[in-house]
Structure 1
Amino acid sequence: MALTVVLIIGLYINNELSFDRFNQKADRIYRVNSDISFSLQGLQTAAAPTPLGATLKRDIPEVEEAVRLGIYQSCLVRSTRENIREQAVLLADSTLFNVFTLPVLAGNPKMALAQPNSVIITERMAKKYFGTAKALNKVLIFNNQESKQVSAITKDIPVRSHFQVDFILPLWETKNAKVDKGGNHIFNTYILLRPGTNPRAVEAKFETILQTYMDPALRRFFNTSLAEARKKGNYFRYSLMPLTDIHLHSTRAGELTPNGSIEYVYIFTGIGLFILLIAVVNFINLTTARSIKRAREIGVRKVLGSNRKGLISQFLSESVLIAFISMLGALVMVLALLPLFNTLTAESLSISELLNIPSAIGLLSFTALIGIMAGIYPAFYLSSFQPATAIKGILGSLPNGQNLRSSLVVFQFAMSVLLIIGTLLINQQMHFIQRKNLGFEKEQILILKTTEVPDHQLRTFKEIALQNSKVKAATISSFLPVTSKRSGDYWYPQGQTDQKYSVIMQEWEVDDDYLATYKMKLLQGRYFIKGQVTDSARVVINKSAAKQLGYKQPVGKTIHKQGGEQLTIIGVVKDFHYESLRTKIEPLCFMLDTDIVAGRNSDALSLRLETEDMVSLLSALESKWKKISPGQPFEYSFLNESFDDMYRTEHRVQVLFTVFTTIAILISCLGLFGLATFTAEQRTKEIGVRKVLGASVASIVTLLSRDFLKPVLYAILIASPIAWYMMNRWLEDFSYRINIEWWVFVLAAGLAVGIALITVSFQSIKAALMNPVRSLKSD
């Protein structure tokens, strides 16, 4: 069991540590990260100023090449009449193939992104849309209007890549004045350093870049210099992150895809080691517990001339053999359980990772080492028996042997208690997330993706949907209250132009039904009124925005961008969580977008439903949709599913932590059972004497159980502070979190004691019920 867990965790860790290493130049590829604080508001992003890559290549000789990547909105793609929505679409510079290793099956990589109507697709997409990988120069239609010619076909992007892509569009077609501004952080920028270059030496030159390019931009757009901004506590820092570190060490804004976490690698590595050590301790305890049965064998061997060295070799060979048999069993169990693990974790681990010569050698060495670790103490212990006493079946004892075994049980249960506390707190935090008042109602909200739907069709469908009594409300909006890619801008309170008063605020374009559909609470003022055109010059802000703007009574006040038009605040909405609970609620404003009201430029249509027969309602809505917008897929999701997706990693950890904790407790119980067996056999005659002298079964069970509970109590005392520290660190990642209460530790202690009592009671009762005549007849 332990080796099965270790192998599965080992495959998971190997998978996590292997990301992006398929790139032939991986050791020389770095991403430019940005750390910016302006108006004392910090931003850590994976994006860099749009022209920075080209600037670094031009001004720093050590930079060999640069490329920008950017997420493209999901889009409809078709080669025939049927549209399919695709999510894995990226924008990239033509230098893409000079930096990343993307094997080209057809086409010229140097010219693949040279034309605005070109597209690079993977082999999988070629077969999907054209039925063959030979799809060069064929045409795909994007969003019902853009014809793109396939300019290259690449092999499928490896799963272990920090970005997943099926379609690559030329980034240069997006160039315009807004994109090319130095202050805009839109794309992720990667640079390829020349061989032998020290990345720290390149970072040292970033200050010159800031002085040369950032200072003029600040003077132009914010009427301040770089030096003046820094004096006020602001900073602009650009740093290089190795490509192979991105997946596990980066959780910045603007990531191309959600990354993993090095913390979970550490957590599961620790769990694997704990379970393995618990199993090794078990082997030691179980071997010594049954040693009395081998006492005569050892005595006879010694009388017949076996020396201690030979006996040690024999016992070590036995433990190593058992380890190899266990490893064979573990490989079979891994083969059977890996599909379930992949389902729980959404990974694609394969046992084929172990089927190569280096892995086989490592596995054999690891197994032999485990066998030696498990057998070293029993080998020395068993070989120390004196022949005379051993032949009589009287088990000898090494100095401090009992203390060592008790210490091992303390270690076992300390690890188990640690995992129990961790499981309880993870479950408690997840329950807190699920029950937290988000500031809106997420249940039974149907989301229709409608980016490509023509103007009039979307609004028509909204009105038709509302005629169904099961549809209680509907809204067209650019953003949903779940994690998505979005950006903010600097806004100033009324009469202020100094950057120290600016506030970075999200801008959500919504229609006049947004608040009612999501059942958000208005704290002050009013919301947008249907048909009131003048509301397009007004804005509704959240409570956090009002606080940062310095307004106690914000209604009637105005806000503005640098050099932009003024908008009047007409209402304040209660703060609601539109990111995960790891993130603090930031300033946000609702704007009435006249395009959205007219049914244009929207991202999603949200419908609040109220029915128990969801299947028939969805069928009816789909039928209406196909009549209004033929050729457009009826694609929907539920908001609560999108909400759950934000905590997918935590859900997986919750399940795996529970499973591994259960296994650890089970193995620990086996260890305690072994110690109980050993103790009962050692004290057989003592129990017989006590019973002859009138001791009751209850008193004997209490006597034996008390000795077993001492190590468990010590384990609780040791594990509790360690668990408190570790779980406190984990909870620090959440801006909104539970408090660690004392009762969690009491409950964990109660569970550990209860499990220990159940485990030892069988042996204690069995020993107490034994006929004293049988245990004393030899004396």
Structure 2
Amino acid sequence: MALRSLIQNKWYSAITVTGLATALTITLFIGLYIKNELNFDRYNENSERIYRVNSDISFSLQGLQTAAAPTPLGATLKTEFPEVEETVRLGKYQNCLVKSTRDNVREQAILLADSTIFRVFTLKMLSGNPATALAKPNSVVITERMARKYFGTTHALNKVLTFNNNESRQVTAVIGDIPAESHFQADFILPLWETRDAKADKWGNHIFNTYILLKPGTSPKAVQAKFEKILQTYLDPALRRFFNTTLAEARKQGNYFRYSLIPLTDIHLHSNRAGELTPNGSMEYVYIFAGIALFILMIAVVNFINLTTARSVKRAREIGVRKVLGSNRIGLIYQFLSESMLIAFISMLVAIGILVSMLPVFNSLTGESLLVSEFTTLPVTFFLFLGTVAVGLLAGIYPAFYISSFQPATAIKNGSGSHPKRQSLRSSLVVFQFSMSVILIIATLLINQQLQFIQSKNVGYGKEQVIILNTPEVPEKQLRTFKEIALQDEQVKAASISSFLPVTSKRNGDYWYPEGQTDQKYSVPMQEWEVDEDYLATYKMVLVQGRNFLKGQAADSNRVVINETAAKQLGYKEPIGKSIHKQGGDRLTIVGVVKDFHYESLRTRIEPLCFMLDADIVSDKSNDALSLRLETSDMAASISVLENKWKKIAPGQPFEYSFLNESFDAMYRAEERTQVLFTTFTTIAIFISCLGLFGLATFMAEQRTKEIGVRKVLGASVKSIVTLLSGDFLKPVLFAILIASPIAWYMMSRWLQGFNYRIEIEWWVFVLAGTLAVSIALITVSFQSVRAALMNPVKSLKNE
């Protein structure tokens, strides 16, 4: 009977199923995304016992929150803390060229690790001995994917790979591919103990991420409470030796040094520190998208309730006859719940079909790697079943009780069981729907504004038409030769060899002191960038005082150019000619001040920075890049010319480049995805709201057919009737705007607080959002209003 009812009312069924299926599709997409985010690192068998040591440091009142810990901390914890079963350190390795017998291939996913990595993390060993795999010098552990890529088989044990053309490494183990739901990724794992930083063993070095595996039953809080002993035993002597102060004295001056533990399963969503191995997610976005899914689902449920209660007018006589013939209220409730359940299950099947076909699009929008196979598991199937039942009950429970409450005599006599209070309820539900839609409209407008602000803001340097050549394997002579040859091309306006770029990348820094000061309270944490004399010109950076480095001037190797923030924090009003120094280090003279520029995301403040001239800048082959500024209308042709020149200078070396503006845009990829998703979700929410409004307007126009006929006979114009019918729907929409505006303002104010440089929320955003909502509502209901107003009054009265 429920199926027959839906077939007989095709228009109502189509609107309801379309709205509900659309909402369920979005809910399923977001549900998969949330499930994926919450599952990070849980593939590890001991995930509940693994913790990372975080470091919080404030020195000279400059704070640093980092995911790295002092180099010797892991070994010390294992030796002195009986609660610690095992420790491991992980670190990033710069990209490099890798080859077996074929051409060089640029690889990015390279990790440094202690040999204990296999005792802490669950990494499937396909071949090799986990106890010795990283204990041998010049060894490398590769994943199954890399084994197939370089050797065509997973049987790659003892085979040789060449790194950066001159470093041969023997494959000592092959492991399964690291799951995508891991906060670190690697295709190659190298022995960390071979590195110079690991051998330095300094308590002041925060370079590697340190993880500990606690023994079963151990309280992490108890372990964390014992970190003070480590500070007193090891950090205090380091402060005395390098900064001529004690831990107690530093704390008295407002500084702090803290180590804390974060559960492995919390890292992906609850950690966004300096030194993260890969970009993490955010619990904030999980909450936001969960809220959006709930909003959209509730909008669809409200549609169902509104359309069902409005349609009850047509079913009033049916209810009356059923009751006269002996149907009780419980039976009628079951009848109407059956209809809502049927609609819910049909909608869910449609939603799953849409999801399967659109999953690749959703993955590209979110950057996730969600799979259709997620639906084949028993828990997910059971959850989908329960979710569908819940949606069916939520959507149908009120209409079922409402319709089944009609009095048979009144329903049969008047053909209606409606009550004025029910009209108020429908208006309230329309208010709810459009409140959610207006909130999403305002959020979308402000996210677009902030993104435009980021993209149009003067960041202090020129990022257009600059290409970056990654050249860590090229000898100094070849690189400098290519730079000079490239500059002979009239389309290459400037070129620079440097270890640092003005976009988010690796950084190097230390504490510097102004002239004549050695007390740590005067120290300033400062970025140290090694550049050549052409760096400022290549990036069009502006000198506000002094001069740049001079070519061929050997004395400039003892001079620095600082940014405005550095001059301010050093306390220099006239910095030219002044000097800065490290504790116990050489003094460097300031010869120039460059205008502040943004070298990180606009979420962060500009920090002190100094440029240092390095005559042997390319001696460290793992850090160098060549920047070329071009002025050309045909970028592809210009790059092709440069590539041909490169092959003559560096035969056998790949010509690999990237555009600086692309690296700049990559810093805001999360915001861009958020913009696209919010725009998509807002459009869908409005579409569902309009579906319900359209269906409601259709039923209301049918219900008032006789009234409209009488009004026309008595002289009412089409305009006045359209205004009357449309006004009934505009009132709740206007009320929704008043409710939604302060809520949206609060939510977006919180979101914008995450940016140190941000837009101001202006009044016109709310006016525009309100105008859009009213316009959409008017367009939606006007079709039915005009249609009803144009109806022949004789025909409508005759039908009545």
Q: Please indicate the TM-score interval, normalised by the length of the shorter structure.
A: over 0.9
TM-superposed deviation, 1:598 = 8.6
1:123 to 128, 144, 155: 144
TM-superposed deviation, 1:372 = 1.1
2:756 to 730, 735, 752: 735
2:408 and 2:117 map into 1 onto residues whose CA distance is 76
1:778 and 1:386 map into 2 onto residues whose CA distance is 25
Instruction: Name the aligned partner's letter for residue 215 of structure 1.
Output: D
1:699 to 720, 724, 738: 720
Instruction: Name the aligned partner's letter for residue 277 of structure 2.
Output: L
CA contact (8 A) 1:446 1:608 kept: yes
Cα shift readout 1:449-484 (whole Å, capped 9, x = no counterpart): 011101110001111111111111111000000001
2:123 is equivalent to residue 87 of structure 1: no
2:799 and 2:202 map into 1 onto residues whose CA distance is 95
CA contact (8 A) 1:456 1:599 kept: no
Gaps of 5+ in 1: none
Instruction: Name the aligned partner's letter for residue 611 of structure 2.
Output: F
> In the alignment, what sits opposite 2:234?
213
1:191 to 204, 207, 212: 212
Cα shift readout 1:179-236 (whole Å, capped 9, x = no counterpart): 3110110000000111111111111111111111111111111111111100000000
Cα shift readout 1:532-582 (whole Å, capped 9, x = no counterpart): 111111000000100110001100000000000000000000001110111
1:147 and 1:178 map into 2 onto residues whose CA distance is 21
Instruction: Name the aligned partner's letter for residue 725 of structure 2.
Output: L
2:390 is equivalent to residue 369 of structure 1: yes
2:793 is equivalent to residue 767 of structure 1: no
| Percent of aligned pairs sharing the same letter | 77
How many residues align? The count is: 779
2:261 to 240, 260, 264: 240
Greater Cα offset, 687-696 or 321-330: 687-696
Cα shift readout 1:653-678 (whole Å, capped 9, x = no counterpart): 10011001000001011122233233
| Residue pairs, 1:247-396, within 5 angstroms | 247-392=268-413, 394-396=415-417
2:249 is equivalent to residue 228 of structure 1: yes
Instruction: Name the aligned partner's letter for residue 456 of structure 2.
Output: R
CA contact (8 A) 1:457 1:599 kept: no
2:135 to 98, 114, 120: 114
Judged with a 3 Å threshold, the aligned counterparts in structure 2 of structure 1 residues 214 and 258 are, in CA distance, closer, same or farther, namely same
> In the alignment, what sits opposite 2:512?
491
Cα shift readout 1:17-41 (whole Å, capped 9, x = no counterpart): 1110100000000000000000000
1:725 to 746, 756, 759: 746
| Residue pairs, 1:705-716, within 5 angstroms | 705-716=726-737
Name the TM-score, length of structure 2 as normaliser: 0.96
1:278 and 1:394 map into 2 onto residues whose CA distance is 29
2:661 is equivalent to residue 640 of structure 1: yes
> In the alignment, what sits opposite 1:556?
577
> In the alignment, what sits opposite 2:567?
546
- 1:347 alignment partner, SS class: coil
TM-superposed deviation, 1:691 = 2.1
Greater Cα offset, 173-182 or 593-602: 593-602
> In the alignment, what sits opposite 2:14?
none
1:601 and 1:301 map into 2 onto residues whose CA distance is 83
1:424 to 445, 449, 464: 445
Cα shift readout 1:428-455 (whole Å, capped 9, x = no counterpart): 0000010000100101101000111011
Gaps of 5+ in 2: 1-21
Cα shift readout 1:465-510 (whole Å, capped 9, x = no counterpart): 1111111111100000000121310000000000000001011010
CA contact (8 A) 2:193 2:199 kept: no
2:293 and 2:198 map into 1 onto residues whose CA distance is 53
> In the alignment, what sits opposite 1:442?
463
2:616 is equivalent to residue 572 of structure 1: no
TM-superposed deviation, 1:689 = 2.5
> In the alignment, what sits opposite 2:40?
19
CA contact (8 A) 1:116 1:172 kept: no
2:428 is equivalent to residue 407 of structure 1: yes
Judged with a 3 Å threshold, the aligned counterparts in structure 2 of structure 1 residues 177 and 691 are, in CA distance, closer, same or farther, namely closer
Instruction: Name the aligned partner's letter for residue 556 of structure 1.
Output: G
> In the alignment, what sits opposite 1:201?
222
CA contact (8 A) 1:410 1:715 kept: yes
2:587 and 2:720 map into 1 onto residues whose CA distance is 85
2:702 to 681, 696, 717: 681
1:65 and 1:201 map into 2 onto residues whose CA distance is 17
Name the TM-score, length of structure 1 as normaliser: 0.98
1:711 and 1:281 map into 2 onto residues whose CA distance is 14
2:348 and 2:621 map into 1 onto residues whose CA distance is 62
2:57 to 36, 55, 60: 36
2:650 to 629, 653, 664: 629
Cα shift readout 1:5-24 (whole Å, capped 9, x = no counterpart): 11111111111111101000
CA contact (8 A) 2:314 2:416 kept: no
Greater Cα offset, 177-186 or 130-139: 177-186
Instruction: Name the aligned partner's letter for residue 655 of structure 1.
Output: V
- 1:611 alignment partner, SS class: coil
2:627 is equivalent to residue 613 of structure 1: no
Greater Cα offset, 757-766 or 524-533: 757-766
TM-superposed deviation, 1:86 = 0.9
CA RMSD of aligned residues (A): 1.5
TM-superposed deviation, 1:292 = 2.7
1:196 and 1:511 map into 2 onto residues whose CA distance is 56
TM-superposed deviation, 1:309 = 1.3
2:190 is equivalent to residue 169 of structure 1: yes
CA contact (8 A) 1:506 1:589 kept: yes
CA contact (8 A) 1:510 1:590 kept: yes
